[in-house]
Amino acid sequence: MKIQPLFKQHVMGHKLRYAIGAALLSMSCLLLLVIPQLLRHFTDGLQTLTLTGKDIMTMALGIVAIGLLTAFFRSVGRIQLFGLAREQERKLRNDLFAKWEGLSSEYFNRQRIGDLMAHAVNDINVMREVSTMGVFMTIEATVLIGVALVAMAGTIHIGLTLLVLLPLPALTYLAYRFRYHIQERTTHVQEAIGQLTSRVQEFCAGIRVVKAYAQEKSELKKFEEDSCHNREMNDQLIRSNSSFSSLSQVIVGVSYLLSVVFGGILVLRGDISLGDFVAFNTYLTMLIMPVENLGKVINTFQRGRAVDIRLRHILSTEPAVSDDDDVEPVAGGIRGKLEFRNLSFRYPDQQQLTLRDITLTVPQGSSLAIVGKVGSGKTTLVQLLLRLYNPPQGTIFIDDREIGSIPLQQLRESIGFVPQEHMLFSTTIGNNIAFHPHGYTSEQIEEAAKVAQVHDNIIAFPGKFDTSLGERGVSLSGGQRQRVSMARALIKKPSILVFDDSLSAVDAETEEHILNGLKAVMKGRTTIITSHRLSAIRHADQIIVMDQGRIVEQGNHQSLIRLGGIYASIYDMQTMNREMGG
C-alpha cells in the first residue's frame, strides 16, 4: 500500500488553516518591512535639517504601532501554524499506534522495542519540527526576502541590489551538496536512538537477572558503547548542520560587505542618498536572519524526509493476519466445536515444520488436554486457534466454519486465553481483570478472582482490587500473576477457554482448588489445557501427547496409562516425585 508523504497529506488536509496562518505571518513580515522606509525618510530629513519635532514624534509613533501590529499578527499566525503542527503530531501518534495494534505477532518478533519507541517519540517530534519551525521559517523567509529585494531594487538601487544578490545562489549549491548527507545522518541518529532505547528497556526488564549474576559492569560497558555510538552519530549530524550554517553565514557576510563598500561609494558619488543607504542596509540586515534560516529550513526538511520515509514504511506495512473483505460474522455466535484437518505449519522465518499432520476433533463443550515436552508444538497449536499466526487454509474449523472466514474480532472475543507469559498492565488489579472496553461490575470481578483462587490474596492488599501494580505486574508473585491473568480470561465467559500451561507457577494445593473452581466454569464450554503436570489434565475428556509437532498418543487418562507409552512414563515419573517429596 503506497502512502503519500505525510507532511503533504497534512498540509492538503488543512489548506484553509495553513493559508490563514501564512497570511497572518505574511502581514507581520510586510509591516516589518515598512520600518526601513521610515528610517530612510528620517535619515534624509536629518541630513537636510528639514525634520520637525512633530515629524519625529509621528515616525516614532508609527514605528511603535508597526511593532505592535507586527507582534499581533506574528503571534496569532504562530499560534495557528504551531497548533496545526501539534494536530499532526497527535494524529501521527494515533495512526502509528493503531497500525501497530493491527499488525500480527510476526511483525513484533522482528522488531526491537527501542526502535518502536524511537518511532513513537523521536520520529514524530522531527515531523512536528517540520510542521512548526520548517513551515514558519519558510513563510517568513519567502515573504521577507521577496518583498525586501523588490523594495531594495525598485526604491533604492537596482544595480546595488543585483550585486548584493550575486553570492546568494551559492546557497542553493550548498543545499544540494549537503541534503543527502543530512538525510543519511539523520537516519543513522534515529537508529542509534532506537538501539540505546532498546538497551535501557532490556536492562530495566532484566534488572533482577543482572543483579543476580552480578553483571552490572558488563551491562554498563554495553550501555556506554551504545551511548558513544549515539553521540558519534549525533556529532556527525551536528558537523553537517554546522558546516552548512557556517558556510551560509560566510555567503551572507560577503553580501553585506558588498553592500557596505559599493553602497558607500554610491552615497559619496551622490547616486543614492544617505537615507537610501540606511534603508538598504536595514533591509539587508533584516534579510540576514531569514537567509541564514534557509539552511535550517533545508536541514529540517531533509531530516523530516528521512523520518517520513521510515514512518510511511511502517504505516504501509500490511498485517500478516487480517480479515478478508467479504468476511461475515458467525450468526448466533461461536459455540465451540473445534476441528483440525491435516494441519502442518511452519513459522515464517523457519524452514522446519513446527506442526505436522495434526488431525483432531474437539466436540462443543468438551475438554482437550495437550501434553508434551518443551518445543513439541503445544503453544503453536493454541496460537493458531487464536490466529496469532495464519494457519494454512482449510486446516482449522470452528463450528464447521473455516477459521479464516470468521472475523478476528468475533473469534478472539469468543476465546478466553491464558498465555504462558502473564502480561499485566501498570494499572489496578481490578482493571487488569476487567480488561475489556465495556467494563464489568465489581461483583463480576470478584467472582472471577474467586474462581481463579486469587481473591484472598487481593483483599489482603491495603488497596484490595484498587491496588496499583508495577510495570508488568512485578509487585505480584509469579503465581499471583498467573491467577490474575486467569481471572481476566474467565470474566469474559467465552465459548472457548484456552489455558497454555497456566498453572506452572502455583503449588499443588492451589492447583487443586483452581481446578475444582474451574469445573463449573468449564461446563458447557470447550476447554483446551496445555500442561506439564498431568494432575492438571487427568480429568480431561480427551488427551493428546505431542512430540516433534505430531500427535503420538491420544485418548483419556485411563486409556493412555494402559497404553504404557510416553504419557504413562510421565505419569509414573511425576507420581514418584510427589511421593518422594511427601
- Is 338-581 CATH 3.40.50.300? yes
pLDDT of residue 396: 92
pLDDT band at 222 (very low <50, low <70, confident <90, very high): confident
Closest-CA residue to 126 (of 311, 295, 314): 311
Q: Which of 165-169, 307-311, 383-387 has the lowest mean pLDDT?
A: 165-169
pLDDT of residue 395: 92
CB atoms near residue 348 (< 10 Å): 11
Hey, which residues does 530 pair with through a beta bridge? Answer: 370, 500
pLDDT of residue 309: 85
Q: In sequence order, which residues have a C-beta less than 8 Å from that of residue 96 and are 6 or more positions away?
A: 119, 120, 124, 311, 314, 315
pLDDT band at 474 (very low <50, low <70, confident <90, very high): low
Can you tell me whether residue 270 is helix, strand or coil? coil
Please state, in angstroms and rounded to a whole number, the distance separating the CA atoms of residues 195 and 168: 40
How would DSSP label each residue in 37-105? HHHHHHHHHHHHT---HHHHHHHHHHHHHHHHHHHHHHHHHHHHHHHHHHHHHHHHHHHHHHHHHHS-H
* Pairing, β 396-398 against β 367-371: unpaired
Please state, in angstroms and rounded to a whole number, the distance separating the CA atoms of residues 546 and 357: 11
Domains 6-315 and 338-581 share a fold: no
What number is the average pLDDT over the span 164-186?
Answer: 73
CB atoms near residue 54 (< 10 Å): 8
- Domain covering 6-315, topology: ABC transporter transmembrane region fold (1.20.1560)
pLDDT band at 539 (very low <50, low <70, confident <90, very high): confident
Q: Which sequence spans correspond to the domains of the chain?
A: 6-315, 338-581
Q: In sequence order, which residues have a C-beta less than 8 Å from that of residue 288 and are 6 or more positions away?
A: 252, 256
Please state, in angstroms and rounded to a whole number, the distance separating the CA atoms of residues 357 and 548: 11
User: What would the pLDDT profile of 355-405 be if each residue is shown by its tens digit?
Assistant: 999 999 999 989 898 988 888 888 889 889 988 888 888 899 999 889 888
User: What would the pLDDT profile of 54-86 be if each residue is shown by its tens digit?
Assistant: 888 888 888 888 889 988 998 998 888 888 888
